[in-house]
Amino acid sequence: MSTALDSNRPALTVLSDDEIAFKDAVRDFAENEIRPLVTAMDEKAEMNSDLVKKLFEMGLMSIETPEKFGGAGSSFTMACLAVEEIGRVDGSVSVLMDVQNTLVTNAFLKWGTEAQKEKYLPQMAKSWVGAYALSESSSGSDAFALKLKAEAKGDKYVLNGSKLWITNGKEANIFIVFANIDSSKGYKGITAFLVEKSFAGFKVGKKEDKLGIRASSTCELLFENCEVPAANVLGEVGKGYKIAIETLNEGRIGIGAQMLGIAQGAYEAALGYVKSREQFGKPIAQFQGVQFQLAEMRTELEAARLMVYNAARLKDAGLDFIESAAMAKLYASKAAAHITSTAIDLFGGNGFTKEYPVEKFWRDAKIGQIYEGTTNMQLQTIAKMELDKS
């Protein structure tokens, strides 16, 4: 693969010519189509429906989907590059397309039957948004303490219970839902189901009012005698835990990419501001203390970028990436929290107002240390893998 330095980005980042061109195209899209809508979407806590349509038109909702199903047939790394570039402008839009690509589509590609792929992937490439429904009120980090029940009845399953904190809940047409068919078996009773929004007995409940990524819908899902065809079991009955674990391992790289983009956006805003803001007769960028803060931010940003890219490359190469994914998600989320907070500091009083963009970057960054595995869960994964090494 030929590689080239990306002249528009950090000097240490080496990407292929195709990856640079793709990244530039996504950046242009984000600047022209997303940035003008960011403030209004954040204030209304609502995703612009026309923008979602444009994401499909750009092919950003089916990056890894094979061409025969209407997708781009590209790589996981490409999906992460798109998540990063969109996150640089808006974390809400970034996570919408991240869940679509790194969680839902990936699960279909790895675990779906050919019939399931033929039925759903073309629709997801054209207009259907996907959601991944694992969490419940009593099962966050303890992801398999599920209370949503699935009972086999002939050629279908009947689901009863609820899900909580489901990203894309409002926009989604297809949901990967994890339920327990036999609680006496513990996690071995967990099964993944493909639930369409139109299925009887299924309803999207209240939308959460959140600190950050406000335009991204985070919703409760309600199941009351919801009938799901047996043909809509994803993977094998009782293997839902395996699907969840493996899919989340991949999804964590996507969240690392989202945090990387958010941090990049905050850093660029701060860099521009310190060059123009004057105090004591000169731009504050000329003060050594400010320069040191910028240097720390820039170093953290580069380290996060290399960790995220490395994890994505390992995944694409079919190599073991689990520990790298945990480290990338851990570090990128911490870096985003620090970089966005420092950006507010550099803006001073202006940074604490909604007139400037950095307070939103800070609000959007916080979720990175919580969803798709909290900071403590990433630390536990890394520690366990290190201790298990011979």
Rg, Å, the chain Cα set: 21
- Measured distance CA(268)–CA(289) in Å, rounded: 18
DSSP 239-270: -HHHHHHHHHHHHHHHHHHHHHHHHHHHHHHH
For residue 133, CA distances in Å to 139, 143, 159, 260 come to 12, 11, 13, 25
- Measured distance CA(227)–CA(234) in Å, rounded: 15
- Measured distance CA(335)–CA(346) in Å, rounded: 16
Nearest to 95 by CA among 383, 301, 385, 370: 370
Residue corresponding to tokens 């061409």: 67
**Strand blocks (E) in the chain:** 3-5, 14-16, 129-133, 149-153, 156-167, 172-180, 190-196, 202-207, 218-229, 233-234, 278-279, 282-283
Evaluated on CA atoms 114, 116, 119, 123, the torsion sign reads negative
Gap between the terminal Cα atoms of the chain? 34
DSSP 339: H
- Measured distance CA(222)–CA(140) in Å, rounded: 17
Tell me which residues are annotated as active site.
372
